[in-house]
Each structure stands twice: as C-alpha cells, then as structure tokens.
Amino acid sequence: MTDEALVIFTPSGKRGRFALGTPVLTAARQLGVDLDSVCGGRGICSKCQITPGYGEFSKHGVTVAADALSEWNAVEDRYNRVRGLAEGRRLGCQAKIMGDVVIDVPPESQVHRQVIRKSATQRDMVMDPATHAHYVEVAEPDMHEPSGDFQRLADALRAQWQIDGLTAEPTILTRLQPILRKGAWKVTVAIHRDHHGTPRIIDLWPGFHEGRLYGLAIDLGSTTIAAHLCDLRNGNVLASSGLMNPQIRFGEDLMSRVSYAMMNPGGDREMTAAVRTALNGLARSIATEAGIDPNQIVETVFVCNPVMHHLLLGIDPVELGQAPFALATSESLSLAARDLDLTAIHPNARTYILPCIAGHVGADCAAVALSEEPNKSDDIVLIVDVGTNAEILLGSKKRVLACSSPTGPAFEGAQISAGQRAAPGAIERVEIDPATKEPRFKVIGCDLWSTEDGFAAATAQTGITGICGSGIIEAVAEMRMAGLLDASGLIGSAEQTGTPRCVPTGRTSAYVLFDGSAEGGPLIAVTQGDIRAIQLAKSALYAGARLLMDELGIDKVDRVVLAGAFGAHISPKHAMVLGMIPDCPLDKVTSAGNAAGTGARIALCSIAARAAIEDEVKRIHKVETAIEPRFQEHFVAANAIPHATAPFPELGAIVTLPDVSFNTSGSGGEGGRRRRRG
C-alpha cells in the first residue's frame, strides 16, 4: 500500500492518483470532474453527493475495498438526520479517499447535467445559466491591513470560486456591511456572469441561503405574450402563463403598429409603456401562480420580432416600416431589467435579448434556430414559424437561410368571417364527405366529432362559437377535396356543387359549416372572402419557402418542421393540399410546438447557448422578401389550389383533387405541384 490511491469517476471516466485523506470533492475538482458544490466543500449545501462503488471493477481494473473511503462522519450523520441522504450516498466534501475507489457522480450532483425538459418536444438541455448562487466565507476586517468589505468579499470569491474581476450593483454596496456581519462573515451571493461584461453581484444573503433563483423566458409576440418561469438550477418550468399583447389596441398587426408610431407623435412611447406594464403584470401573476416571490426572478430572456424588439427597448420602429428596414441594433443585448422598467421582479435582475437576424427576421426566428438547430441537420430542413408574420428557415449543416413572409393574421383566425382565436368552442378540425358534401367537425374542448352521440351535450357549456386557424385551413382543404372549390379558389353554387350548404352571398357563394341561428347561435360559414384571405396567406408562406429553396438551388426539402403554437395544431395533410408548404413525405412533417419559446428557455438556461446562437446568426444568410422580384412571382403562382396532374411516388399515394371549375377563367395558376390524399 502506498500513500496514494487511484480514483476513477463515472460516468466521465476521469481518473487520477491522490494522497490518502484527499476529500472526494477536491479530487473531482482537480480532475475537472463535473461535481456540483454551492458551499465550497463545507458540508452545508449537500450538492456534492456521490455514490462510491465497492468490489471488483474489471472494466477499470480495480478492486474497491469496503474501507476505500473514510468512515461516515459527523457532518454526514447530521445531514442524514436533518434532511436524509439516499442509501449509498456520501457527501463528496466529507468522504476522504483511503484506497483505490470508483465513484459515481449521479445526474443531480452534476452542474452541467442533462435535464429532460417538460415540453412538447422533449430534449436534453445542458444547464449553464448566467446567474449562480455561491456560498463564501469572507475574511474579517483588520485595522492593520485596511481594505473594504467588498474587496475582501471579492478576494474570497476569487480564492474559493475562481471568480475574477468582480463588480457589484451600486445597491449591493449599501447592503453589504450589515449582511456580512449578520452572517458572521459567511454569505451567499448571487452572481450574474454571462459572456458579455464582468461578473456582477446582484444579491446577497447572510449565511448559507437556500432560496432558489428563477428566470423568465418570454416570447413577446405581436398578439400574445407567453412566459415560462424556470428554476435556474435545473431548468424546470414551474409555471407558464400568457396574455394578450396590449399593443393590439394600437394596431392588429406589425405594420399597423409601425403606422401608429408614424402617425402619432409619441405613439411609440405609448406602445412601449403598454407592453412594459403588461410584462410587469405577467411577471407578478406567474410568480403568484408558482408560489414564489417575484424578487426571486433574477433573469429574463426575450425573443420577439423586430418591431416588438424595438418597442420593448423604447426604440421608435419607424425604420422597420420602410426600405431598407434598418434595425437600430441587431446584436444580442445584455442589460439591466430596470432599463426596461421591469420593476416587478428583482431590482437587479438582468435581461438578455437574442440577436435579430434582419429587419424582418427577428430574435424570435433566432430562437427557433437555437431550438431546432437547422445548422446541425444532416438533411435539408424547412422550418416555418407561422404567426402574423411567418419566419422561415431553410438549410442544413452546410448552410442556413432565413426570411420572413407577411402572411397576415388569417392563419390565426383573424380576417375570417367566422374566425376566432383558438379557444374552447372554436371549430378546429373539419372533414367533408366527398359524396354527400356534408361536414363534420370538432371544437376545442371536446373530443367528439359533431356527428357523434353526446356532442351537443358535451359542447353545451362552451357552445360552438367560430372557427380557429387550424379549422379554417382544414375546411378550405376539405372543400377543395370535396369538389366544393375549384383550383382557382372559387366556391361553387348550390347548383354547381349539388349541396344546399353552398348558399349565395351576393355574387359569390359560401359554404355553411354550422347553422346555430335557430337556437340563437352563430352561422358559421366559409365565405369567398375567407378563401381569398387564406389563399393570400398561404401564397405568402409558400412563396417565402420557395424563394429560399431557389437560393439554395433545390426543388424539394427533406423534412418540414412546423413551429409556433399554431404549427402544433395544423394538419400536415391539409397544409400540403392547400399548398402552404412544399411537398414532402407526410411522415417528414413534424411539429416543434412553441420553438421560439423553447429557444428562449434554452438561452435562459445556458450562456454557451447564447454565445452559440450569436455566432450562428452571423452565419445565417438573410433573404429580404420585400425587394425580391421572384417572391412576387412565386406569390402569384402559388395562389391556386391546383389539380394534381401526376403520380408522386415519394408521398406513397397519388393526390387526386377533383377537376372542377366554377368560372370561365380556367383552373387558375399552376405551381406545378402534386398532391396526395393522406
């Protein structure tokens, strides 16, 4: 037996020889093993729990004796009595190496541990947040070596946590002295340290502080603001909440808000104040929902389109309304939350805003790129984030392109005669029998089809109130497949279609989905105007995707990812029949849920992710649709809902749309595309 022993850590496989008596935590640190510790090895925080293995480890070539670690000590004993230590676990700061040993670091003891996110798209997430709590013991003042309390705190953080160049918020200096004395020169400090700027103390508490630190990941949309409250130690989402963007009263879509700012002196400041007030309310309500103090929210991350971005920052968005669509600032921003008047949260909270890609392609699109990682894809992926504007990403690990397309709000149920937002009572699924031309549908909040028994009773409370975005897309596609609509998008009359559901409305027809007027309810019909609105929206979306495909020199994509809350509910089959997205095997069309919100959470949990997306955004090739003649060409060509003309083997079937025509101008534009019936 020598004075040293071999220590092997799993799962990392890192190994080294250490003097007998070395604490396991010390060995881990010297080897660079990822073993957590908040208290710095003082047996207070219990974050450094490890599981020693005993017996024969032929893989590692060692045999671990029962006395390979020092005996269970008083600190561990006390911890076990007070809080409980799982069977087989030891505290890494207390257990000392006494012989060759294999030590497993369980996931919850790893700082950079893989955390499974509780979201629609589950994925491993690495925790690497900007704000950490550190417990530290500070030297007491000495009259003969006078130095400030802050300088001795900084010295301690340098020695105990390797934090250099420490700064502090000015308000920290005013609180420092009583807290150091109350904690008997032991304090816990919350330090914000991202890849911009210097480490900065944002809060401190006497002694060892158990309190958790939280962050808000905020997807600031034109219509809705959605926020996730995340635990900064493990990325867990404690609560999610959303509200309508109050700027809607200044204009439904982005351009009308820019117009409002142009037409009304101080209009931009009104909109800035409105959204900041709403954000404070959202922060308070989400904290209440999660049962935490809003002061525990020490970070926020924002993703948003460029107009929302500028209005959040208090920048007049007027330049975004006219060529050359110049952003005031395009790179990421790291600033004090109070600079955005976010006063409901911690007074020293920090805010990170993801970079914008271009004047029409915002930080929300950057967040989608961070979440969906087209730059790491082996095959060519098309990612569309459908909202009032559609953000489109196309590419693979070789090259990624981005653009934005002005789809308008039709996909969200706006500008549709019976349209409404996705809420209980809204029609969200539609099928039309090609033979009888009779519809059946589902409404949000009820799992039954409208033709099934019990539907009336199940929907009695919500009623049937309108049709949402995914509902109108299915209705239009089903109407086309049932021969109620020709390739140009014209609705046939009752005579032409043979169904009394096609009713005359002036010089055009409408298709009645549901008539509740006898019971005082709504008449829900798809009008010719609705069809035109959907055609404009889908043409814009398709034209944007085609423009990027032209730029990349490809005719088809390997897979399609539908992002956005709306993208999660859309039917890939109907989207493809309608011509919203380019042809692609149906099983290669997936939904990413709220990818922008996911990207915001990733950035909240990891400064490495922030640095990565900042780099990637610089590499993404931006295409400006507004000035590209081919965009107009694609837009016009994509207006029709064409007749399928050829078999399309990759789709596994032939799409056969009825070759009807309800006017004399023929079958409308032909995009050369083929459909399959799903």
Binding site for its own copies (CB under 8 A): 140-144, 146-151, 170-171, 173-174, 176-178, 197-198, 313-316, 318-319, 323-331, 335, 339, 356-359, 361, 622, 624, 626-627
Tell me if 69 sits within 8 A of 95, measured CB to CB.
Answer: yes
- Is the Cβ of residue 358 or residue 485 nearer to its own copies in the bound state? 358
Alpha carbon distance 453, 448 (integer Å):
8
Three-state DSSP class for residue 659: coil
Tell me if 398 sits within 8 A of 381, measured CB to CB.
Answer: no
**What is the nearest approach in angstroms of its own copies to the Cβ of residue 103?**
42
Question: Which residues are paired to 220 by β-bridges?
Answer: 225, 304
- Is the Cβ of residue 311 or residue 563 nearer to its own copies in the bound state? 311
**What is the nearest approach in angstroms of its own copies to the Cβ of residue 147?**
5
Alpha carbon distance 512, 500 (integer Å):
9
- Is the Cβ of residue 306 or residue 489 nearer to its own copies in the bound state? 306
**What is the nearest approach in angstroms of its own copies to the Cβ of residue 610?**
16
**What is the nearest approach in angstroms of its own copies to the Cβ of residue 214?**
24
Exposure string over 523-538, b if 16+ CB within 10 A, otherwise e: ebbbbbebbbbbbbbb
DSSP per-residue codes, 569-582: T--HHHHHHHTSS-
Tell me if 580 sits within 8 A of 538, measured CB to CB.
Answer: yes
Encoded tokens for 615: 């780099």
Tell me if 35 sits within 8 A of 80, measured CB to CB.
Answer: no
**What is the nearest approach in angstroms of its own copies to the Cβ of residue 373?**
22
Encoded tokens for 161: 């946590």
Q: What is the dihedral of CA 289, 295, 298, 303, to 10 degrees?
A: 50
- Is the Cβ of residue 2 or residue 174 nearer to its own copies in the bound state? 174
- Is the Cβ of residue 233 or residue 310 nearer to its own copies in the bound state? 310
Alpha carbon distance 353, 329 (integer Å):
11
**What is the nearest approach in angstroms of its own copies to the Cβ of residue 350?**
13
- Is the Cβ of residue 335 or residue 654 nearer to its own copies in the bound state? 335
Percent helix, strand, coil in the chain, to 5, is 35, 25, 40
Alpha carbon distance 479, 498 (integer Å):
13
**What is the nearest approach in angstroms of its own copies to the Cβ of residue 532?**
29
Closest CA to 501 of 531, 530, 474, 523: 523
Alpha carbon distance 431, 411 (integer Å):
18
Tell me if 312 sits within 8 A of 257, measured CB to CB.
Answer: no
- Is the Cβ of residue 62 or residue 320 nearer to its own copies in the bound state? 320
DSSP per-residue codes, 297-344: EEEEEEEE-HHHHHHHHT--GGGGGSTT---S--S-EEEEGGGGT--S
Beta strands 589-593; 390-395: pairing state: unpaired
- Is the Cβ of residue 360 or residue 437 nearer to its own copies in the bound state? 360
Encoded tokens for 331: 């790179």
**What is the nearest approach in angstroms of its own copies to the Cβ of residue 213?**
23
**What is the nearest approach in angstroms of its own copies to the Cβ of residue 196?**
9
Q: How distant, in Å, are the alpha carbons of 239, 296, 426 from that of 257?
A: 30, 34, 27
**What is the nearest approach in angstroms of its own copies to the Cβ of residue 551?**
12
- Is the Cβ of residue 38 or residue 220 nearer to its own copies in the bound state? 220
- Is the Cβ of residue 173 or residue 636 nearer to its own copies in the bound state? 173
Helix H segments across 13-125? Answer: 24-31, 74-82
**What is the nearest approach in angstroms of its own copies to the Cβ of residue 272?**
9
- Is the Cβ of residue 200 or residue 574 nearer to its own copies in the bound state? 200
- Is the Cβ of residue 111 or residue 626 nearer to its own copies in the bound state? 626
**What is the nearest approach in angstroms of its own copies to the Cβ of residue 130?**
17
